[in-house]
Amino acid sequence: MEDVQERLALAIRLAREAGAIQRERYESELVVETKRTDVDLVTDVDRACEEAVVRGIRAARPGDGILAEEGGGDDAAGTGWRWVIDPLDGTTNYAHGYPCFCVSIGVERDGRPELGVIYNPILDELYHALRGGGAFRNARPIRVSQQRDLTRCLFATGFAYDRHANPGANLRHFEGFLRRGRGVRRDGSAALDLAAIACGRFDGYWELDLKPWDVTAGTLLVEEAGGRVTDLSGTPGRTDGAAVVASNGLIHDDMLAVLRGE
C-alpha cells in the first residue's frame, strides 16, 4: 500500500508541475508540428511537459517502466510498475488557445491500472483515483450521474486523427446519440471527457481509436466513481484504448445498443 500511496503523491506532484508549464505557456507563441496525419499535432509544450514528468519519475522511481505519448519513456517494466502518460491531452485545443486540456498520468502494476491522476490547469481541478479507494476532485469524493433515461443524457465523443481519410464509423454513432440524447459534446480531450463522466457532468462517452495514454487514468477514475468502462462488445478491462465506452453504468447497455445501430 505504501508503494501505491508514494506513487500517487509523485503522480500528483508531477501532474501539477506539467500543468504549471501548460498554464504558463498558454496563448504564447508555440512551435507546432504534425505527427502521423495533418491534424495530429504536437507542440513544444507537449514535449516540455513530458520531459518534466519523465524526469521526475526517473529520479524517484528509476526501476519503473514508462509509456509516454511523445516517446520519452522506455517500456521496460523492471519493477512490474508502469507509468502511462499523456503529457498534454487536448493538444489541438492548446494550439488554438481553447481552454480545454490537461495532463493525464496512470500507473499500472503488472498490467492493471492502480492509480490515475488528471489535472486541468485552467480550472485548477485535480482528479485522482486509487483502485479500491474511490475517485476524487480536489480531494473531494466524486460520483457518476444517476440518469437512466437516454433522452435526458449529455454525451461526449471525439474523432480519430485519421478522420480526413476515414470519417466513417463515428459519424454514424454521433448521429445515433444526437437523435437520442440531450446533446453531444466534442471537447477535444479524452481524459477530461472521462473525468467529466466520473463527476457526473457527462452521462456517457464513447470514442474509437484512442491510445493507452488517453484512457488509463480516466478509466480507473470512472470505475472508482461508480461508472462502467468497456469496449463496444461490453467487455471491461481493456487498456489499449482501441474502442472505449464509458458511462454512469445505468445507461451502459442502452449506449451499447445505440453503438450497434439499434
Binding residues for ligand IPD (CB under 6 A): 86, 89-91, 158-160, 188-190, 207, 210, 214
Give the residue among 186, 182, 167, 169 at the shortest CA–CA distance from 260: 169
Q: Cβ of residue 191: shortest distance to ligand IPD, in angstroms?
A: 6
Output the residue with the shortest Cβ distance to Ca ion.
89
Amino acid at 253: D
What's phi and psi for 163, nearest 5 deg?
Answer: -65, -25
Regarding 86 and contact with Ca ion (CB under 5 A), the answer is yes
Of ligand IPD, Ca ion, none, which one sits near residue 188, judging by CB under 5 to 8 A according to partner kind?
ligand IPD
Q: Which is nearer to ligand IPD, 25 or 143 (by Cβ)?
A: 25
Q: Cβ of residue 186: shortest distance to ligand IPD, in angstroms?
A: 8
Q: Cβ of residue 105: shortest distance to Ca ion, in angstroms?
A: 12
Of Ca ion, ligand IPD, none, which one sits near residue 21, judging by CB under 5 to 8 A according to partner kind?
none
Where b means 16+ CB within 10 Å and e means fewer, 197-208 reads bbbbbbbbbbbb
Q: Cβ of residue 3: shortest distance to ligand IPD, in angstroms?
A: 28
Find out whether 100 and 90 touch, Cβ atoms under 8 Å: yes
CA distance 193 to 220: 13
Compose the 198-217 pattern: x for residues touching Ca ion by CB under 5 A, - for all others: ----------------x---
Site size with Ca ion, rule: CB under 5 A: 5
Q: Residue 202, SS3?
A: coil
Compose the 34-73 pattern: x for residues touching Ca ion by CB under 5 A, - for all others: -----------------------------------x----
Regarding 89 and contact with Ca ion (CB under 5 A), the answer is yes
29 Cβ contact partners less than 8 Å away, ≥ 6 residues apart: none
Q: Residue 131, SS3?
A: coil
CA distance 226 to 35: 36
Provide the Cα torsion 226, 194, 78, 46; round to 10°. -160
Q: Cβ of residue 236: shortest distance to ligand IPD, in angstroms?
A: 21
Q: Residue 232, SS3?
A: coil
Task: List residues binding Ca ion (CB under 5 A).
Answer: 69, 86, 88-89, 214
